[in-house]
């Protein structure tokens, strides 16, 4: 307690007494106490998957309670429609194109292997790095997917510890299909390929011997070529699936591989226990916890407690287990008396993966609600994500806002809450939205342009227009959906370039206030639309002038096998001995 705050003898004595109580009994009464931050980011969660955003069949009571205690951002936008660029932008407050964390033609859309040289460059500044410099204890738990090393498997230039996180426990890569213990055959067709090869060998190989013995050499050659063809087609793909499971499905603690491949059935339980342990350990310090869920990305796997827990198959089970984990983290905050001094921010990195459909027709991806499209697209369903902020000191409970915001905004906002100046030596694209969160924004339609990249190309722009008091969406490029769907079923993710996209000239324009589903493009010949297209074009041109060429971090040519992470070499196989007791299930 600062004695200078006391303006009279009586108040001074009271302040001194309270300070003594604080030192003796550990009472937390300092009004200047630094605030804590807990980020809860889910992977591939659709805005239509959460109860407080309209879902009435998947149970998410803990997320719903969080929304009732804070503000629900109904127009919260991800900074990119796929994982790696979205997460890079979130951490830095900068469009991912500025750090090279986007694809170009012939590049990947995301980091696809752990043994890649690419990743979030060391010179990028994350909010974690700044908070750590100001005395915060920082932790990253869960999916990283922003690279590991540059030249060797142990230089760790892209590691979370190199970007401001003192503690790391999680996946250097991502939870992918191949991480399932059965290689996720419902999606990969691994079992189908194996059975085809086995059957072909059992049938054709004896036939080859018989045909050769009876002098039918030409027929034998045809049979041999057919068998060889099947091996050439299937074996590399099967080897890739096995290798992905073995080499990319890795769990790390710090810079040590502690499990390879991952046991997904217990992963969420372990991540949640680690997160709550970090909070408890640092309850007397200012801290930042980034809980980056491996869910609800495929492969879909839950603990036994959540198998058949929902009405929506494996996907619903995963959402409900994730909600359980959210509840455990929030309960720990309350249990330790940190409720008032902790800002909690819940979001998804982008929209649901609509192309994830099993062979039996079961949806393995989420739901975009009333919006069009999903992951990989810049339609609203791909970038509008369930977003909630709770900070009891400033945010009124049970409020909501439909002001367009971006995940880019977290960087300057969290620094504002922490009382730290934003860095001035780099271009920031996010805006401080504290007044929006607290309901004190002076002008709901403060003019703003939010640019939506697909790889390195701006496909669309959201324009919050002060003059018309409307929010417009302008699309220059859109993906070509499969007939009768809002997904690109011929691709794993919708393309950004080439024959798989439509280029619109004039652009498609939507009034998101009256047409949030982007169903009816407006007439571009009216004076109002011509005005906003001129303003948007000018904004894009100004923005492009700020973009500098940087090395691509997502090039597929950056794969170096000797950079592969491996525990217990040469076997690359280990199981984790979890260092403390797991929190119990309810």
Q: Render pLDDT for 127-157 as a digit per residue (tens, 0 to 9).
A: 999 999 999 999 999 999 999 999 887 899 9
Residue 270 pLDDT exceeds 70:
yes
Residue 14 pLDDT exceeds 50:
no
Q: Render pLDDT for 185-204 as a digit per residue (tens, 0 to 9).
A: 556 666 677 777 778 778 77
Residue 28 pLDDT exceeds 60:
no
In angstroms, the CA 68 to CA 330 distance is 13
Q: What is the pLDDT of residue 62?
A: 98
Q: What is the pLDDT of residue 198?
A: 78
Q: What is the pLDDT of residue 2?
A: 40
C-alpha distances in Å from residue 343, one per residue of 31, 151, 172, 285, 560: 15, 38, 26, 14, 41
Residue 259 pairs in a beta bridge with 251
Sheet-wide strand order for 501-511: 448-454, 457-465, 470-479, 501-511
Q: Render pLDDT for 97-120 as a digit per residue (tens, 0 to 9).
A: 999 999 988 889 999 999 999 999
Lowest mean per-residue pLDDT among 7-21, 72-86, 540-554, 572-586: 7-21
C-alpha distances in Å from residue 177, one per residue of 88, 218, 271, 471: 22, 42, 19, 37
E strands present in 489-585: 501-511
CA 112 to chain centre: 15
Query: In which residue are the tokens 């597929």 written?
Result: 556
Other Cβ atoms less than 10 A from the Cβ of 30: the count is 13
Cα atoms in the Cβ-side hemisphere of radius 13 Å centred on 18: 15
In angstroms, the CA 324 to CA 276 distance is 13
Mean pLDDT over all residues of the chain? 90
Cα atoms in the Cβ-side hemisphere of radius 13 Å centred on 221: 4
In angstroms, the CA 342 to CA 210 distance is 76
Q: Render pLDDT for 201-242 as a digit per residue (tens, 0 to 9).
A: 787 778 878 878 777 888 778 878 887 887 788 777 767 777
> Please, are residues 84 and 146 in contact by the beta-carbon 8 Å criterion?
yes
Residue 329 pLDDT exceeds 90:
yes
Q: Which two tokens stand for residue 292?
A: 């980056």
Q: What is the pLDDT of residue 152?
A: 81
User: Looking at per-residue confidence, does 302 or 9 come out higher?
Assistant: 302
The helix/strand/coil state of 324 is: helix
Q: Is the peptide bond before 506 cis (omega within 30 degrees of 0)?
A: yes
Q: Render pLDDT for 360-399 as a digit per residue (tens, 0 to 9).
A: 788 899 999 999 999 999 999 999 999 999 999 999 999 9
Residue 23 pLDDT exceeds 60:
no
Lowest mean per-residue pLDDT among 172-181, 190-199, 426-435: 190-199
Residue 502 pLDDT exceeds 50:
yes
Q: What is the pLDDT of residue 397?
A: 97
Q: What one-character-per-residue DSSP string does 217-271 give?
A: HHHHHHHHHHHHHHHHHHHHHHHHHHHHHHHHS-EEETTEEEEBS--HHHHHHHH
In angstroms, the CA 92 to CA 141 distance is 18
- For residue 45, which of 91, 86, 92, 101 has the smallest C-alpha distance? 86
In angstroms, the CA 282 to CA 389 distance is 22
Question: Which ranges of 142-216 would DSSP assign to H, the alpha helix?
Answer: 185-188, 190-213
Residue 5 pLDDT exceeds 60:
no
Q: What is the pLDDT of residue 204?
A: 78
State whether the Cα torsion 317-319-321-327 is positive or negative: negative
How sure is the predictor about 8, in pLDDT bands with cuts at 50, 70 and 90? very low
Name the phi and psi angles at 62, rounded to 5: -75, -40
Query: In which residue are the tokens 């011997």 written?
Result: 209
Q: Which two tokens stand for residue 451?
A: 């640019």
In angstroms, the CA 199 to CA 77 distance is 50
Q: Which two tokens stand for residue 228?
A: 């060889």
Residue 487 pairs in a beta bridge with none
Q: What is the pLDDT of residue 425?
A: 94
Among residues 75, 83, 353, 454, the one annotated as catalytic is 83
In angstroms, the CA 300 to CA 566 distance is 24
Among residues 15, 52, 75, 145, the one annotated as catalytic is 145
Q: What is the pLDDT of residue 27?
A: 40
Q: What is the pLDDT of residue 213?
A: 78
- For residue 435, which of 471, 462, 403 has the smallest C-alpha distance? 403
The helix/strand/coil state of 511 is: strand
Q: What is the pLDDT of residue 371?
A: 98
Q: Which residues contact 567 (CB under 8 A, 6 or more apart)?
A: 256, 257, 258, 259, 260, 573, 574
Q: What is the pLDDT of residue 444?
A: 54
Question: Percent of the chain scored above 70 by pLDDT?
Answer: 91
> Please, are residues 170 and 251 in contact by the beta-carbon 8 Å criterion?
yes
In angstroms, the CA 586 to CA 583 distance is 9
CA 239 to chain centre: 28
Q: What b/e readout covers 66-98, taking b as 16+ CB neighbours within 10 angstroms?
A: bbebbbbbbbbbbbbbbbbbbbbbbbbbbbbbb
Angle between helix 264-281 and 313-335 (nearest 10)? 10
In terms of C-beta density within 10 A (0-12 exposed, 13-18 middle, 19 or more buried), how is residue 295 classed? buried
- For residue 395, which of 434, 432, 430, 431 has the smallest C-alpha distance? 434
For the segment 164-177, the average pLDDT, to the nearest whole number, is 96
For the segment 35-64, the average pLDDT, to the nearest whole number, is 98
Lowest mean per-residue pLDDT among 180-194, 286-300, 542-556: 180-194
Question: Percent of the chain scored above 90 by pLDDT?
Answer: 74
Does 75 participate in catalysis according to the annotation?
no
**What stretch of H or E contains 92?**
helix 83-92
How sure is the predictor about 549, in pLDDT bands with cuts at 50, 70 and 90? very high
In angstroms, the CA 277 to CA 255 distance is 19
In angstroms, the CA 492 to CA 162 distance is 32
In angstroms, the CA 459 to CA 478 distance is 7
In angstroms, the CA 495 to CA 231 distance is 30
- Rounded to two decimals, what is the model's pTM? 0.89
Q: What b/e readout covers 375-411, taking b as 16+ CB neighbours within 10 angstroms?
A: bbbbbbbbbbbbbbbbbeebbeeeeebebbbbbbbbb
E strands present in 112-202: 137-143, 167-171
Does 145 participate in catalysis according to the annotation?
yes
Residue 25 pLDDT exceeds 70:
no
State whether the Cα torsion 472-475-478-482 is positive or negative: positive
> Please, are residues 376 and 82 in contact by the beta-carbon 8 Å criterion?
yes
For the segment 508-535, the average pLDDT, to the nearest whole number, is 98
Residue 167 pLDDT exceeds 70:
yes
In angstroms, the CA 505 to CA 491 distance is 25
For the segment 344-369, the average pLDDT, to the nearest whole number, is 93
């Amino acid at each position: 307690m600062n004695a200078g705050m006391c303006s009279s003898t009586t108040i001074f004595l009271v302040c001194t007494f309270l300070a003594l109580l604080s030192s003796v009994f550990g009472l937390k009464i300092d009004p200047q106490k630094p605030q804590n931050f807990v980020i809860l980011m889910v992977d591939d969660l659709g805005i239509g998957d959460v109860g407080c955003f309209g879902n009435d069949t998947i149970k998410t009571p803990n997320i719903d309670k969080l929304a009732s205690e804070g503000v629900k951002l109904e127009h919260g936008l991800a900074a990119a429609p796929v994982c790696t660029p979205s997460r890079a932008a979130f951490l830095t407050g900068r469009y991912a194109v500025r750090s090279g964390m986007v694809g170009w033609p012939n590049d990947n859309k995301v980091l696809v292997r752990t043994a890649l040289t690419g990743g979030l460059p060391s010179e990028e500044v994350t909010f974690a790095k700044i908070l750590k410099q100001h005395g915060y204890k920082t932790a990253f738990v869960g999916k990283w997917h922003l690279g590991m090393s540059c030249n060797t498997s142990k230089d760790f230039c892209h590691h979370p510890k190199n970007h401001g996180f003192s503690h790391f426990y999680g996946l250097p890569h991502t939870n992918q299909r191949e991480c399932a213990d059965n290689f996720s055959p419902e999606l990969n067709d691994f079992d189908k390929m194996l059975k085809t090869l086995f059957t072909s060998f059992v049938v054709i190989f004896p036939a080859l011997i018989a045909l050769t013995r009876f002098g039918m050499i030409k027929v034998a050659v045809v049979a041999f070529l057919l068998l060889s063809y099947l091996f050439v087609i299937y074996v590399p793909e099967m080897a890739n699936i096995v290798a992905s499971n073995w080499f990319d499905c890795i769990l790390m603690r710090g810079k040590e591989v502690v499990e390879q491949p991952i046991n997904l059935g217990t992963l969420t339980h372990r991540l949640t226990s680690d997160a709550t342990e970090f909070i408890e350990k640092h309850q007397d310090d200012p801290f930042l916890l980034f809980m980056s869920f491996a869910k609800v990305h495929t492969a879909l796997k839950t603990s036994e407690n959540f198998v058949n827990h929902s009405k929506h198959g494996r996907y619903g089970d995963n959402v409900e287990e994730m909600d359980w984990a959210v509840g455990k983290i929030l309960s720990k905050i309350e249990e330790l008396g940190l409720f008032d001094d902790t800002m909690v921010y819940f979001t998804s990195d982008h929209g649901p993966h609509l192309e994830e459909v099993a062979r039996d027709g079961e949806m393995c991806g989420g739901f975009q609600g009333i919006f069009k499209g999903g992951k990989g697209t810049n339609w609203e369903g791909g970038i509008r994500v369930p977003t909630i902020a709770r900070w009891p000191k400033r945010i009124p409970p049970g409020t909501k806002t439909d002001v367009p915001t971006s995940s880019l905004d977290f960087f300057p906002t969290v620094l504002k809450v922490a009382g730290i100046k934003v860095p001035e030596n780099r271009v920031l694209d996010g805006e401080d939205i504290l007044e929006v969160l607290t309901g004190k924004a002076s002008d709901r339609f403060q003019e703003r342009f939010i640019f939506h990249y697909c790889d390195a190309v701006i496909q669309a722009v959201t324009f919050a227009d002060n003059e018309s008091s409307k929010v417009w969406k302008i699309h220059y490029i859109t993906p070509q959906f499969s007939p009768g769907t809002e997904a690109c079923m011929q691709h794993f993710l919708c393309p950004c370039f080439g024959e798989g996209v439509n280029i619109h000239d004039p652009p498609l324009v939507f009034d998101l206030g009256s047409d949030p589903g982007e169903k009816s493009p407006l007439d571009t010949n009216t004076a109002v639309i011509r005005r906003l297209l001129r303003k948007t074009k000018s904004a894009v041109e100004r923005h492009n002038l700020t973009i500098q060429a940087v090395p691509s971090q997502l090039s597929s040519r950056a794969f170096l096998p000797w950079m592969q992470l491996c525990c217990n070499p040469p076997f690359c196989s280990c199981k984790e001995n979890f260092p403390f007791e797991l929190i119990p299930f309810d």
